[in-house]
Amino acid sequence: MRKHPILLGMVIFLILLGIFIASILALSYFSTREESLFGREKIAIIEIRGVILDSQPVIEKLIKFRKNEKIKAIVLRIDSPGGAVGPAQEIYTEIKKVQREKKVLASVGSTAASGGYYIACAAEKIVANPGSITGSIGVIAETLNVEELLRKIGLRPTVIKSGKHKDIGSPTRPMTEEERKLLQEVLDNVHEQFIRAVAEGRQMPIEKVRPLADGRIFTGDQAKNLGLVDELGNLEDTVSLAAKLVGIKGEPEIIYPEKKKFSIWELLLQETIQKFFQGWKENIPPYIIFYLPHLNFLGADS
């Protein structure tokens, strides 16, 4: 029987291609798993990026890594200008719980300001680059008055409320002195909570923290001199420090949270839903339902 070298070559090529693809998929699968084939001691990385509006994803990762006995320490990689008060405080509290069982360190990327720094303070050590932006220990509430604009285009808002302060900060009328005082009291209270969290997390006297808590930002170098940061260095330096603190000898294995499998349908659906609700919020005045000025831990580049 006559042989067909071209056909045979194609069959061999397809077999080799299949083996190659299978190898790539296997490597990709194991690289995204929290459990690997290697027996080295592990350090987990949790990334906190962008404006902090939802605490649940970070808290879920903290809990998962806390329960994993093979993971000896957790490093928070923070690149955030801050965010909403509640989520930042929830993450801070969860980190404190994890600290009872495992070491948690914070690595500051380009920015860990305001709410980002609030979270970092819960870690045992904070490592920042010399040029990182941090600090911004403060709270801000913003509202916009559009009364004159509405008058020019012939719109007159009607507000129905259940109490005299229910529309506090409404953009359709000037803020009264009484309302300004009420909001200032709220901000001062949250600001005091922030100061105490920094003092507790950094183990600094509150009298030393208070003068620094006027909203100003610091470079990593300045923050280290002020006691707001422990060491200067990058993510790799933070991992090395974590390994040293927990007694890992040699190179630790770095574990990232398991990545969700990509789905083009899910991506499109998520984008559609997000755009729908964003448009809904932008076009329906929020003060008609539950209006409240935004209260945020926000810092540089926010």
**Mean local confidence (pLDDT), 52-71:** 94
> Domain of 203: which CATH number?
3.90.226.10
In tens, the pLDDT along 190-215 reads: 999 999 999 999 999 999 999 999 99
For residue 166, indicate whether it is catalytic.
Answer: yes
Residue 3 lies in a domain: no
pLDDT > 90? residue 266: no
Residue 7 lies in a domain: no
- Please state, as a whole number, how many other Cβ atoms lie within 10 Å of the Cβ of residue 124: 17
Q: Give pTM, 2 decimals.
A: 0.76
Residue 190 lies in a domain: yes
- Beta partners for 237? none
CA angle 181, 184, 188 (to 5 degrees): 140
Q: What is the pLDDT of residue 293?
A: 54
Residue 10 lies in a domain: no
What gap in Å lies between CA 146 and CA 123, rounded to an integer? 42
Residue 28 lies in a domain: no
Q: Which residue among 70, 96, 97, 166 is the active-site one?
A: 166
Q: 172 lies in which domain range?
A: 38-298
pLDDT > 80? residue 27: no
**Mean local confidence (pLDDT), 99-125:** 96
CA angle 302, 81, 100 (to 5 degrees): 155
Q: What count of Cα atoms within 13 Å lies in the side-chain half-sphere of residue 110?
A: 7
Residue 17 lies in a domain: no
Q: What is the pLDDT of residue 263?
A: 55
Which residue blocks in 107-259 are alpha helix, DSSP H? 115-120, 147-152, 177-202, 206-209, 220-226, 235-246
Q: Which residue among 80, 114, 136, 170 is the active-site one?
A: 114
For residue 181, indicate whether it is catalytic.
Answer: no
**Domains held by the chain: number:** 1
Residue 275 lies in a domain: yes
In tens, the pLDDT along 152-203 reads: 999 898 888 888 988 888 888 999 999 999 999 999 999 999 999 999 999 9
8-state DSSP, 211: G
Average pLDDT, the chain: 84
Check residues 293 and 250 and name the one with the higher pLDDT: 250
- Please state, as a whole number, how many other Cβ atoms lie within 10 Å of the Cβ of residue 27: 10
Q: What is the pLDDT of residue 39?
A: 59
Residue 169 lies in a domain: yes
Question: Considering only CA atoms, which of 188, 208, 187, 189 is closest in space to residue 198?
Answer: 208
